[in-house]
Chains A and B, each alone.
Chain A
Amino acid sequence: MNNDKRRGLTLLIVAAALFTFVLTTHAGAPAFAQTGQKLYSDTKITLPAFDLPIPQDQSEKDYLGLSGKGTFKIGQIKAQVVIIEVFSLYCPYCQVQAPLVSEVYQKIQESPDLKEKIKMIGIAATNSAFEAKSFKETHHVPFPVFPDEEGDAAVALGVKYTPTFIGVRVDGKGSQEQFYWLPGVFKDSTRFLEEILKTSGLEQR
């Protein structure tokens, strides 16, 4: 191989590597995140991995089926489906949406069948612990909320706008498949829950 060819080939490899790097590190969940549309997925899309601190509060630990200290991943939550709301204290739509999100939680808890199968968590994008707690208290958020001050989780998930709702199928052993993505608000808690049930496979379509 002459020098020119070798140089061309090296350039090509460097360019390809960088392109892949940008896609994998920056885009998060590309198929979902780029469109800004509500999306369901029949194909298996693995939720990007990120760590959250195990809650200190015993009732929150019990709710999520976690124990001990340290961190956990969404796939370790004891459930079949996890609904993640990525929100912010500083987001007007999140404030308006809060009562409806609580309604979803109440509907799940009132159903003996669903309460063990579906768990909800909030991730407070770019909020400090104080800010996340302030939102939780003001809006009486009934499920565990995790501050994401540096926005690491939001970036990993590819969340661009708050609120964003993400449905994840889990098996408690680490598997975490994203099946639902709603960037923005929903207007009817019953319909939202029905969508989750249908698209997750918990209820036959």
Chain B
Amino acid sequence: MKLPASLWKCFACAVITVIMFSSGAAYGESAAFKDNIYPVGKLAPRDSSPILKVGDTAPDFTLPSIEGSKVSLHDYRDRKNVVISFVPAAWTPVCSDQWPGYNVSKKLFEKHDAILLGITVDNIPTLYAWTRQMSPDKLWFPVLSDFYPHGAVASKYGVLRSSGESERALFVIDKKGTIRYIDIHDINKRPRLEDLVGALELLDKQ
């Protein structure tokens, strides 16, 4: 049976509607951020060109933290391994639950003598308000603002997107300042904790 063209069009529209409904489903998000998350929709997984590779010296930086102090990468040289977690922006999906997961996993970082530095391109007041939603106590790791000059550190690490947000990226840097692990992740997805822990375990082996 040959269906009329108009019916096919109608059918196609209906199928597209169903797909949109299905893929737009938010589930399992934290109630802590209920109604406060800006729906960004699905974004291009990556929108930047990598400029660093494993084995490179990590570019140094100094950024203000929400505690009011300044934090530099070289503060940790010879003292701690460093995990840098770039997340795209405050009040967006995925990011809003990634750091709470790290916050509760402090022991996993400590086990590998690592500090976590959380960085976004947001300004300090926004980061302050946003991270206050994540925990009744303050987060155990420094939260740094790469707001001005805008995204300068994200840019140095090759993870600044054309929209001005950063990628969702993880860098593991050893005590000598050498990059040992890079995960420039699909911005729409949360990196699995075990992958990061696996990278930290490799640090111990050398």
Which residues of chain A are within 8 angstroms of B29 by Cβ–Cβ distance?
A: 91, 160-162
Q: When the two chains form their complex, are residues A7 and B32 in contact, meaning their CB atoms are under 8 A apart?
A: no
In the complex, A77 has a CB within 8 A of chain B: no
CA distance A163 to B34 in the complex (A): 11
Q: When the two chains form their complex, are residues B34 and A22 in contact, meaning their CB atoms are under 8 A apart?
A: no
> In chain A between 30 and 86, which residues have their CB closer than 8 angstroms to a CB of chain B?
36, 86
The answer, among A26, A95, A131, A183, for a CB contact under 8 Å with B25, is A26
Q: When the two chains form their complex, are residues B18 and A184 in contact, meaning their CB atoms are under 8 A apart?
A: no
Q: When the two chains form their complex, are residues B18 and A125 in contact, meaning their CB atoms are under 8 A apart?
A: no
Q: In the complex, how many angstroms separate the beta carbon of B80 from the nearest chain A beta carbon?
A: 21
CB nearest neighbor in B for A133: B194
In the complex, B10 has a CB within 8 A of chain A: yes
Supposing A11-B7, A11-B10, A131-B193 touch, asked if A96 and B136 sit within 8 A by C-beta, the answer is yes
CA distance A134 to B136 in the complex (A): 20
How many residues of chain B have a CB within 8 Å of chain A? 38
CA distance A89 to B104 in the complex (A): 8
Most B CB within 10 A of own CB, among A93, A96, A125: A93
In the complex, B30 has a CB within 8 A of chain A: yes
Q: Fill in one digit per residue for B182-197: 1 if any A CB lies within 8 Å of its CB, else 0.
A: 0000000010111001
Q: When the two chains form their complex, are residues A91 and B30 in contact, meaning their CB atoms are under 8 A apart?
A: yes
Which residues of chain B are within 8 angstroms of A86 by Cβ–Cβ distance?
A: 28
> In chain B between 9 and 39, which residues have their CB closer than 8 angstroms to a CB of chain A?
10-11, 14-15, 17-18, 21-22, 25-32, 34
CA distance A25 to B25 in the complex (A): 11
Which residues of chain B are within 8 angstroms of A172 by Cβ–Cβ distance?
A: none
Supposing A15-B14, A135-B104 touch, asked if A90 and B97 sit within 8 A by C-beta, the answer is yes
Q: In the complex, how many angstroms separate the beta carbon of B190 from the nearest chain A beta carbon?
A: 7
Q: When the two chains form their complex, are residues B27 and A22 in contact, meaning their CB atoms are under 8 A apart?
A: no
Binding site for A on B (CB under 8 A): 4, 6-7, 10-11, 14-15, 17-18, 21-22, 25-32, 34, 97-98, 100-101, 103-105, 107-108, 133-136, 190, 192-194, 197
Instruction: List 20 extra interface pairs beyond A128-B192, A160-B27, A160-B28, CB under 8 A.
Output: A7-B4, A7-B7, A11-B10, A14-B11, A18-B14, A18-B15, A25-B22, A95-B100, A95-B104, A125-B27, A130-B192, A148-B28, A151-B27, A159-B27, A161-B31, A162-B30, A163-B31, A164-B31, A183-B31, A184-B31
